[in-house]
A and B are shown apart, each in its own frame.
Chain A
Amino acid sequence: MSFAKINDDILRTLRPPGAVYYVGLALTLAAFAVGTLAFLHQARTGMGVAGYEHPILWGIYITNFVFWVGIAHSGTLISAVLFLFRARWRTAVARAAEAMTVFAVLTAALFPIIHIGRPWFFYWLIPYPNERQLWVNFRSPLVWDLFAISTYLTVSVMFLYLGLMPDIAAARDKITDWRRHVYRVLSLGWLGTDRQWRHYMALYGFFAALATPLVVSVHSVVSWDFAMSILPGWHSTIFAPYFVAGAIFSGIAMVITLLVPMRRIFKLEHYITVHHFENLAKLMLMTSLIVSYAYAVEFFIAWYSGSPFEQGTFYDRMFGQYWAYSWMMFTCNVFVPLLLFSKAIRTNLRTLFIIAIFVNIGMWLERYVIIVSSLSHDFDPANWSGVYSPTWVEVAITIGAFGLFFTLFLLFVKNFPAISITEMKETMGRSAQADPASSWPDPV
């Protein structure tokens, strides 16, 4: 396949969109608006409008936070880790995954602010010299969170942008409408000279090398929000690896959820092939097995610990007032993914898509169960509460978050190459090239 064809095919996706696109965009924007209004209502009236029930003081907002941070992980995994592992097939999906990462982190970062009692003071968590002469408590996992999430956001934005730079230049030289001015600025005047390429490749390698430990640390830190507390059901050493695996699990599910329709709509069948999806499916299956193992270990340890508190919590999780959520979670995360062992199923995009949806739901429920059921049933039976039932405000804000995420993603795919032109030219353009050798240098 010739460079020119790849160039045209992919840049074609930037052509002015049709009605369907605008309808979709309108829907997601509406959802976002609803969420915003709900949040303003909450900030005005007080957290009480949410359904919190003492002692369940963390609820859907933190669930959403962890969920979105989790989503954010596959992007980096695919573009960085698989890059280091030389997994060629990543090329087709890396760009979409990276974009998804950035938008997911942005969405996630909103939830701590939505969640706190005085959102207008959220910046007090940032250590800066202030009139209160008070720094932040670096022992608090929430401060670790702040550092981890902001680092992750910065790095993944730079990673995405670096990858985009040559493609934006390509768009600049191809697109004729008003956007070309934007591309000119964004491309930073990229030329593609040998010097630029050399540094570009080096940096890309370093980013991959830095993002890999980062992606592991970020979700470990998120898991420590829970593991560092003394609450039965949270206080567990397995949480870091367990959450990282879970994050990648849910992330890949989301990638599949996004790519299947995108591939259809943009007619990118040649670029994103079933082979790619099958690899994603395999990865999802593996992480699903890791997560299942973590579940098993949690319950085993609870039993083995002999601690009435641990045992009580986990018994309650299985058979208490939240049993339905727990079993739905097991179904979605443990049992349904087992279907992926069948090649027929994992290579059939329709079934794969459905399974991915299941996993998305299951992973959301996992966080919900961990947070809510543990809090509802802690040390002192006198505190055990009734069933926490979210109010319309929480539901609206949750929907709004999806609205924001999909709005950003829709805007992205119509204005930037959703598949890396450069890498496509390299991997698929080989046929048109005499020299089949990879041009990719050894990273680091």
Chain B
Amino acid sequence: MSDRVEILGIYDRGTQAAVCAGAILDQGLGDVVTYSPVPDHALDHALGVRVSPIRLFVLIGGLLGCATGFIFPIYTVLDWPLITGGKPLISIPPFVVIAFELMILFAALGGMAGFLLLSRLPRVRGRPAPDRRFTNNMTGVSVTCAPEQVAEVRACLERTGASEIREEAA
């Protein structure tokens, strides 16, 4: 909806931002995105903690790696059977090492991939952060709402002590 408005409130304390964000969500005034220099539990609570699905990526990666670590060596020794040291071709113990390392590797890669995917990274073009200070010391609450609710939102931002309020078209 092109006519929706984005209002940005800038706080120097994460806690106030959290209060604000919580209030706005409770009243259903609009969608809230927060910007903060550090991970902030208060904000999380305000926005409702949801468990990150990254664990799935990690799990799948791990399982995949473990399987590869066993299947690949076994395939290679059967592909060209060469006796070494009088050991059986498929000698599991040494392959456990490979499997373990690959499990860790794939799990980590899976996690990283999941992270980039879920957090929409990398943002090559997309707009920069609405304010440079968010990576420094300020916390920001960006509310996207219908024009008729602008007033309420502004009121809420002021009430919770936003040190600065900006409004721009979404």
Contacts and interface: CB of A to CB of B under 8 A. Distances in A.
Interface of A: 2-4, 7, 127, 133-139, 143-144, 147-148, 150-151, 154-155, 158, 162, 166, 169-170, 172-174, 188-203, 206-207, 210, 213-214, 217, 221, 224, 422, 425-426, 429, 433-435, 437-441, 444
B22 interface: no
Interface stretch (B1-9, B128-136, B144-152): B128-136
Contacts of B107: 206, 210
A7 B138 CA distance: 11
Contacts of B85: 139
A169 B13 CA distance: 20
In the complex, the 8 A-B pairs of residues with the closest C-beta atoms, listed nearest first: A189-B123, A3-B137, A135-B76, A188-B122, A202-B52, A173-B132, A138-B73, A170-B135
B102 interface: yes
Contacts of B87: 139
Say which size band chain B's interface belongs to. 35 or more
Q: Taking each of A3, A150, A426, which has the highest tally of chain B beta carbons within 10 Å of its own beta carbon? A: A3
A188 B121 contact: yes
B119 A217 contact: no
Interface in B69-112: 72-73, 76-77, 79-80, 82, 84-85, 87, 91, 94-95, 97-98, 100-102, 104-105, 107-109, 111-112
Contacts of B52: 198-199, 201-203
Contacts of A151: 101-102, 104-105
7 contacts: A3-B38, A144-B97, A147-B98, A148-B97, A193-B34, A217-B104, A434-B13
Contacts of A194: 33-34, 36, 40, 43-44, 47
What is the predominant secondary structure among interface residues of chain A facing chain B?
helix
B15 interface: yes
B136 A214 contact: no
A144 B43 CA distance: 45
A166 B40 CA distance: 14
Contacts of B36: 192, 194, 197
B135 A169 contact: yes
Contacts of A224: 97
Contacts of A203: 52, 54, 111-112, 114-115
Given A158-B108, A435-B41, A138 B94 contact: yes
A210 B108 contact: yes
Contacts of B120: 195-196
B127 to A, nearest CB: 9
A170 B35 CA distance: 13
